[in-house]
Amino acid sequence: MPPSVTLPEADALPTQQTRPGEWDDGGEPLLHKEKPPMSASPPRILIIGAGSRGRTYAEATETSSNGIVAGVVEPDTYKRNGLGHRHIWGPQGRTEPVEGESFADWRDFVKYEKQRRERAAGGEDGVPEGVDAVFICVQDEMHRAAIEAMVALGGVHIMCEKPLATSLEDCAAIHRALQQNAADGSGNFGSKHVFSIGHVLRYSPHNVLLRKLLLQDRVIGDILSVVHTEPVGWWHFTHSYVRGNWRREKTSAPSLLTKSCHDIDVLLWLLCSPASYTSGPQAPHLPSTVSSSGSLQLFRKSRKPVAAGNATNCLSCPAEPDCKYSAKRVYVGDRLRGLGAGNRRWPVSIVMPDIEDFNVKGGPAAAEEALLEKLAEDYTPDTPDSDVAKRNWFGRCVFESDNDVNDDQVVVVTWDEDPLPEGEVDLSADPMANRLQHRGAKTATFHMVAQTKKLCDRYTNLYGVDGEIYADQETITVEDFKTGKTTVHRPPLESKGHGGGDDGLTRQFILAVDRVKNHGWVPETAQREIIGCTMEEIIRSHALVFCAEAARHGKTVVDWAPWWAKEVEGRLA
């Protein structure tokens, strides 16, 4: 149990509270809260995709890992140069990239890297050093092609932003590519590559501690039920899932996948995965049934305010001054997140990546004028659907958009009791506590909801045999039924990015690459013990999302085992 201090008694029941910096990880994967020491030859990282996620991982690489950003791939010149100036050539006092640092397309990088290796093998002097790993942060539907190309290239470890892919077939194809490229020829994953996925929730100090309390310290005994909520945020949903990249299933994927696949993953991490990644293989506690319901409830034309009339764009809408979804209000005038707050980063920079240039050259007035001009862009009934789908329309009325993804969804997963065979569990220490080892019957309920004040500030209720836990983004409150004691843990908040998960994932992935490159570890060991997430877990959590979608569309409860056998196993072979 993490160290704690006793607070004044309330209602005659003692309450304990851990303070930031006082707790010991003790969990797996091991999380370093300080930047790991640099090796003599630090891992060199290529960022593929210089959007918001690519910039996040580049920043985390520089501030929290023992790697260096060595190159960038990005078709947008402004974004590419921006990341390069900040993290690659700029810190070296250069205004321009040199060979091997900047590419417009990952295909250009692959072609260059093959030639670079040929030159180096031929003994040419002055050949630049290559990269050891890539962060793939392109659009979701492009993940498969980029990953397969990196696997075929060989010699680079891979971290892919979530989701792995936008279809079950593409997820399986990625798994097959990694298996088929195994160095030992056995098909065992991990022989050549360290592979990670952007399931950042696993790596926040908060969730690492929560998992330790549940599975190692067993503070509430066996888990019986979990209710987990992801509040997306009323305006954030419109930005990304009504006006933005992830608004249409055909061009992206269901919102349960694009927004919440790492929530499904963290539930399986707590309820399905073995407690330890270092004590040898142990069968996961697999789900029994999956069901789901949900729909696009609010952002439909039938909900459009009467006062808006026929307007399709906020800047020409008579109801705009009174509409909370007004693009002008959110991106231009908002005192919390728009230009009105002096903010020229996300979400404003998503609308106009070069907004900072307008501000530098012409001041705030020029930046506002350019942003308003961008927001005024609209399409008409005569615009081909292919043209509408290929770009974002951030000034579009949220009730007149071409979005179709759910803004509210519930997923329910059940587990049957499935104890490990006798001989695989040590019952000598505490027979009552250890008999099932968290493999008893249990239920998980997940709710993704758009209409919230909270902005992705997740919260979870966990109910166990001996107590219950309420966990939000800042605290973990444990109620012990046996003692009547309330203990409040406050894990350190390393950064705002998913509660430190962005930094934690980056650190662990690059540390695993470093162990392979400089310390003689085999990738499979680094994958398991440093990253703490296997390819099997990655496929399982994504598959469960697709299973939930099948249950929702079929309005049925899906039996997990036969569904997996039919829909997944054949694809993985």
Rounded CA-CA distance 474/17 in Å is 12
Is residue 226 domain-shared with residue 277, that is, in the same domain? yes
Between these two residues, 71 and 181, which has the higher pLDDT value? Answer: 71
Domain presence at residue 126: yes
Domain presence at residue 85: yes
CATH number of the domain enclosing 561: 3.30.360.10
For the cut 70, the answer to whether the pLDDT of residue 476 exceeds it is yes
Read off the tokens for 117.
């290796």
Task: Give the strand order in the sheet containing 157-160.
Answer: 102-103, 68-73, 44-48, 133-136, 157-160, 195-197
411-454 pLDDT per residue, tens: 999 999 998 776 666 656 555 556 777 899 999 999 999 999 99
Task: Give the strand order in the sheet containing 486-489.
Answer: 5-6, 15-18, 486-489, 476-480, 467-471, 459-464, 223-231, 442-449, 408-415, 289-295, 558-559
Q: How confident is the model at residue 31 (pLDDT cuts 50, 70, 90)?
A: very low
Residue-level pLDDT at 496: 62
Average pLDDT over residues 556-567: 98
Is residue 166 domain-shared with residue 221, that is, in the same domain? no
392-419 pLDDT per residue, tens: 999 999 999 999 999 999 999 999 999 8
Rounded CA-CA distance 452/238 in Å is 12
Residue-level pLDDT at 171: 97
Partners of 470 in the β-ladder: 461, 477
For the cut 50, the answer to whether the pLDDT of residue 98 exceeds it is yes
Read off the tokens for 501.
């998960």
Is residue 293 domain-shared with residue 305, that is, in the same domain? no
Is residue 227 domain-shared with residue 239, that is, in the same domain? yes
Average pLDDT over residues 222-234: 97
Looking at 333, 358, 389, the residue that finishes a domain is 389
For the cut 90, the answer to whether the pLDDT of residue 42 exceeds it is yes
Residues 6+ apart with CB under 8 A from 367: 339, 344, 355, 356, 358, 359
Looking at 389, 418, 434, the residue that finishes a domain is 389
Domain presence at residue 459: yes
Domain presence at residue 24: no
Is residue 429 domain-shared with residue 481, that is, in the same domain? yes
82-94 pLDDT per residue, tens: 999 999 999 999 9
Share of the chain above pLDDT 90, in %: 79
Domain presence at residue 181: yes
State which residues form the domain around 109: 44-197
201-215 pLDDT per residue, tens: 999 999 999 999 999
Domain presence at residue 351: yes
Residue-level pLDDT at 565: 97
Q: pTM for this one? A: 0.90
Residue with tokens 């696949």: 261
For the cut 70, the answer to whether the pLDDT of residue 43 exceeds it is yes
Is residue 281 domain-shared with residue 362, that is, in the same domain? no
For the cut 60, the answer to whether the pLDDT of residue 26 exceeds it is no
Is residue 266 domain-shared with residue 161, that is, in the same domain? no
Residue-level pLDDT at 277: 74
Number of domains in the chain: 3
CATH number of the domain enclosing 75: 3.40.50.720
Domain presence at residue 32: no
Average pLDDT over residues 161-189: 81
Between these two residues, 27 and 373, which has the higher pLDDT value? Answer: 373
DSSP letters spanning 495-562:
-SGGGGHHHHHHHHHHHHHHHHHHH---HHHHIIIII---HHHHHHHHHHHHHHHHHHHHTS-EEHHH
Per-range mean pLDDT, top range of 119-133, 189-203, 481-495: 119-133
Q: How confident is the model at residue 333 (pLDDT cuts 50, 70, 90)?
A: confident
For the cut 80, the answer to whether the pLDDT of residue 198 exceeds it is yes
Read off the tokens for 50.
């210089």
Residue-level pLDDT at 266: 97
Is residue 58 domain-shared with residue 184, that is, in the same domain? yes
Is residue 336 domain-shared with residue 417, that is, in the same domain? no
| Omega of the bond leading into 20 within 30 degrees of 0 (cis) | no
Average pLDDT over residues 533-556: 97
Domain presence at residue 546: yes
Is residue 280 domain-shared with residue 343, that is, in the same domain? no
Compute, in degrees rounded to 10, the torsion defined by CA atoms 253, 259, 261, 264: -130
Is residue 365 domain-shared with residue 333, that is, in the same domain? yes
Looking at 346, 364, 389, the residue that finishes a domain is 389
For the cut 80, the answer to whether the pLDDT of residue 280 exceeds it is no
Is residue 377 domain-shared with residue 469, that is, in the same domain? no
